[in-house]
Structure 1
Amino acid sequence: MRPKIYLFGDSITEESFSDGGWGAALANHFSRTADVVLRGFSGYNTRWAMKVLERVFPAEMNVGGGRAPLAVTVFFGANDACLPDRYSAFQHVPIDEYRQNLHAIVAYLKNRWPSTHVILITPPPIDEAARLLHPYGENPSNLPERTNETAGNYAKACVAVAGECGVPVVDLWTRMQQFREWDKAYLRDGLHLTSGGNKLVFEEVIGKLKEVGLSLETLPADLPFIDGIDPDNPLKAFEE
């Protein structure tokens, strides 16, 4: 069985297998070395993620000598950071609880599979003006349900948890804002990713995977490549 890389997160993960998505790009990149498995849940926060952990990663995954995943990306925080006095308040999770939940998710995964690399990804920055143009539903206050400042606080909390747990982190909130006109280049509705935003996430995740030793150079390919098959004796390649 090929080893697996799991993507666990909210809508930005759920959409990652769409055309040009960062998850689809990972699947293409590792097409002969690992299966990339999507476990994204639109609208979810870390509180809800805690409730579904055992369904997403059931005990049966360990039955029959099942292999530990190579890596799991954990990409939550955009919904936790919804403001408690705005129309998406039901998604809000206080920042202290957000930190605790991230700690618990990392601990759950590392206790299950000590060899698995857990990579945290911070929420992205928020384009507040664009959020007003793309509300989820009725917005009587005419105020954005998220602010970039609050998203940044949750991103800093995510980075801090990664340091405390000793796991890699993609600080997407900081990285994205290092580019000019990031709000239009990387976000299509002030929150979700454009093709450019997906490319950026893909590159950042690939970089973190390489840092922990997971790359095309280090992972064995599944079955012989065509250039390794002898035209005069093709079946020999399958006898090894």
Structure 2
Amino acid sequence: MNKIALYGDSLMTGLMNGEPSDILNNYVIDELTGMGFPGYEILKFGRRGEGSAEGLERLDEVVAANPDFVVICFGTNDSIKHKDPVETYGDNLRKLVEAFPAEKVIVLTPGYVNVAIRTEADNDRQQAYAEMAKEVAAEKGVNVIDLYHHMTIYPEPNEFLQDDGLHPSNEGYHFLGALIARDIKNKLLEVQN
């Protein structure tokens, strides 16, 4: 069985109504299976409230699992909760990415936040963290999914969020699962060709 590690903050836990769930895992697997790539299992390495610095503290555990693909998703807590400088986030993300072979890595940027609900958040700051994630991914030659961009080109990005203004809604997780599955599919097709 092939393994996909979802490594990051509460988005990677599938947080729904304040509780971790398998919603994202199921959408990724269902999408991959529907695209003709069955036989994957999800390794859950998401932790609520974590920033990139906390992620580094448990990096060895994720590396030891030897996933076929790893989706690295940190930044929102760095931005909103910890108020870390974007450069610190970039340095931490570089270390996370460097721990895996480049062909296995997908960096997921921080996404859009409903600031009417999450008044401590700032979408300009979220976007700056997303840009840093894209910069690190380009520098390290790994794939990146610009979640902030994908959410904000949609006319009503709040539809992708739960009532907490931060975590994906059912539609948001479905969208995210499809983006992750598409990226993995493209990586698999590159290897086949």
The equivalent residue for 2:47 is: 41
The equivalent residue for 1:139 is: none
- The CA deviation at 1:93 is 2.1
Is 1:150 aligned with 2:125? yes
Distance in 1 of aligned mates of 2:52 and 2:140:
17
Query: What is the aligned residue count?
Result: 182
Distance in 2 of aligned mates of 1:94 and 1:3:
36
Listed one character per residue, the Cα deviations across residues 162-187 of structure 1 (whole Å, up to 9, x for unaligned) are: 1111111110001111111111x101
Q: Is the 8 A contact 2:31 2:177 kept in 1?
A: no
Q: Which has the higher contact order (CA 8 A, sep 6+)?
A: 2
Q: TM-score, normalised by structure 2?
A: 0.86
Q: 2:26 aligns with which of 3, 24, 31?
A: 24
State the identity %.
28
Please, which runs of 5 or more residues in structure 2 have no aligned partner?
A: none
The equivalent residue for 1:12 is: 11
- The CA deviation at 1:27 is 3.1
Distance in 2 of aligned mates of 1:214 and 1:49:
30
Distance in 2 of aligned mates of 1:159 and 1:23:
24
Q: Is the 8 A contact 2:94 2:136 kept in 1?
A: yes
Q: State how 1:61-100 maps to structure 2 within 5 Å.
A: 61=65, 68-82=66-80, 88=81, 91-100=82-91
CA RMSD, Structure 1 to Structure 2 (Å): 2.0
The equivalent residue for 2:104 is: 117
The equivalent residue for 2:2 is: 3
Partner SS state of residue 130, structure 2: helix
Q: Is the 8 A contact 1:124 1:173 kept in 2?
A: yes
The 1:195–1:55 alpha-carbon spacing in structure 2 relative to 1, beyond 3 Å, is same
Amino acid in structure 2 at the alignment position of 1:18: S
Distance in 2 of aligned mates of 1:15 and 1:207:
18
Distance in 2 of aligned mates of 1:149 and 1:6:
29
Amino acid in structure 2 at the alignment position of 1:155: A
Which structure has the larger Rg over C-alpha atoms? 1
* Greater share of residues in helix: 2
Distance in 2 of aligned mates of 1:171 and 1:187:
16
Distance in 2 of aligned mates of 1:35 and 1:79:
27
- The CA deviation at 1:73 is 0.2
Q: TM-score, normalised by structure 1?
A: 0.70
Distance in 2 of aligned mates of 1:166 and 1:55:
23
Q: Is the 8 A contact 2:28 2:178 kept in 1?
A: no
- The CA deviation at 1:145 is 1.9
